[in-house]
Amino acid sequence: MPVVTSRVTDLIGRTPLFELAATDTGTRLFLKLENMNPTGAAKIRMAKAMIDDAEARGLLRPGGHIIESTSGNTGLGLAVIAAERGYRFTAVVDHHACRDKLRTMRAMGAELVFVSDGDDDSLSTSAREELAEKMTRDECEAAERAGLEPNTYFTEQHNNDANPLGYYVLADELLADLGRVDALISAVGTGGSLFGTGRRLRDLGLEPLMYGVEPVGSIAFGGPAGPYWQSGTGTPEGADPGKTVDEDMSLLKEGVKVSDVEAFATARVIASKLGLMIGGSAGGSVFAALDRMDDFPAGSTVVTIIGDGGEKYLDTVFDDEWMNDRDLLDSDTESKVARMLDRYSPALNPRECDTRTHTIVIPSAGQPATDSGIADSATMPGYAAGAAGK
């Protein structure tokens, strides 16, 4: 990442790691803070990858129109790309999306097209995708009737091969900073972040245990369908998980279902105890990781991808009235999360100091690498230079 730049997309990546938990057997849990990207989300990585791919294949030319069905974070990324490169961008949305995501997309010049009226806050993934596809088809056909070459592109994130490729660099970053990854845990919506990162790690000779996390009520991992409030993740009834999930499901060690109560309790407790704001679906991934800390092989390096930050959810996950209205506040679950955080709170140096602390691994531009291109695992303990309080 350059120190000085004139393009927002140059700021994508090289996000830090936060050590959240550790066990007496040497297992350590790191959060990959993708909320530190522009737009505060991981999905700007794949948004850029999808547009780069469309341009390379001649599917999108200067002055073109991008259309996508989105619950927010992909749309935010595409809005940045469109503003930077001079495209028009239309986001097909529903009122299930957090209002701050919708406001931000509009502020960056995106056109919002809703598939439902303001009184309907249900998740409408299938309706959004159908409308986005129809809008693209209608524009392309109109251009052809006028004797023009179509220049409208539906990125279709759930079935776009460039989506998981956008996360390959994330895997490279993990290896440069940690040396190895033994377990990888992430929320699964399109599957790009988990499976893209996992594929790249496998290409580099690692075989991390992979855990996909979806809300209770999502259908990608089976089970009964039902409503859920976690945003930007899961597969609601009637929707297709998409190409990446279908192709890579066999890579999973486990498909984990986490309830809204558990996911949101985790996000809220982490905010109140540590001052770290993570999104609701990220809370689900962290809950799944904390709940399995004693199950990972001794000495494991575990990474959870934090898809976005909590600042976008101040009127939902972090709003007591909104939570109460949906019966999502549960003091027992919040207490359970707090106990897990206390139990697994990492020590900076347990042999020399009883002080319990959390640590940030700051990415460095000149990380040494082995002949294989993977950073030597001996570099990981050097994280202490970036420790809180240093």
Model confidence pLDDT, tens digit, residues 237-279: 888 899 999 999 999 999 999 999 999 999 999 999 999 999 9
* pLDDT confidence tier of residue 97, bands split at 50, 70 and 90: confident
Three-class SS state of 249: helix
Please check the confidence at residue 377 and state whether its pLDDT lies above 50.
no
pLDDT digits (tens, 9 = 90+) for 185-207: 999 999 999 999 999 999 999 99
Cα Rg of the chain (Å, integer): 21
pLDDT at residue 383 tops 80: no
CA distances from 144 to 139, 148, 226 (A): 9, 5, 42
pLDDT 10s digits, 120-155? 777 788 899 999 999 999 999 999 999 999 999 999
Looking at the domain 44-159, which fold is it? Rossmann fold (3.40.50)
Sign of the alpha-carbon dihedral angle for 336, 288, 98, 81? positive
The CATH architecture that domain 8-41+167-344 belongs to is 3-Layer(aba) Sandwich (3.40)
| pLDDT value, residue 275 | 97
Give the pLDDT confidence score for residue 161 in this predicted structure. 97
Locate the domains of the chain by residue range.
8-41+167-344, 44-159, 359-383
Identical fold at 8-41+167-344 and 44-159?
yes
| pLDDT surpassing 80 at residue 229 | yes
306, β-bridge pairs: 33
Question: What's the rounded Cα separation, in Å, for the pair 327 and 371?
Answer: 54
49 in helix, strand or coil?
helix
Single pTM value for the model: 0.88
Tens-digit pLDDT profile for residues 161-188: 999 999 999 999 999 999 999 999 999 9
Q: What is the pLDDT of residues 78-95, one digit of tens each?
A: 999 999 999 999 999 998
Q: How many CB atoms lie within 10 A of CB 23?
A: 18
User: What's the pLDDT tens digit per position in 318-337?
Assistant: 999 999 999 999 999 999 99
Query: Average pLDDT of the chain?
Result: 90
Q: How far apart are CA 34 and CA 112, in angstroms?
A: 25
What DSSP state is assigned to residue 196? H
pLDDT digits (tens, 9 = 90+) for 52-67: 999 999 999 999 999 9
Helix (H, G, I), strand (E, B) or coil at 303: strand
DSSP 8-state class, residue 304: E
Overall residue count recorded for the chain in this entry? 390
pLDDT at 170: 98
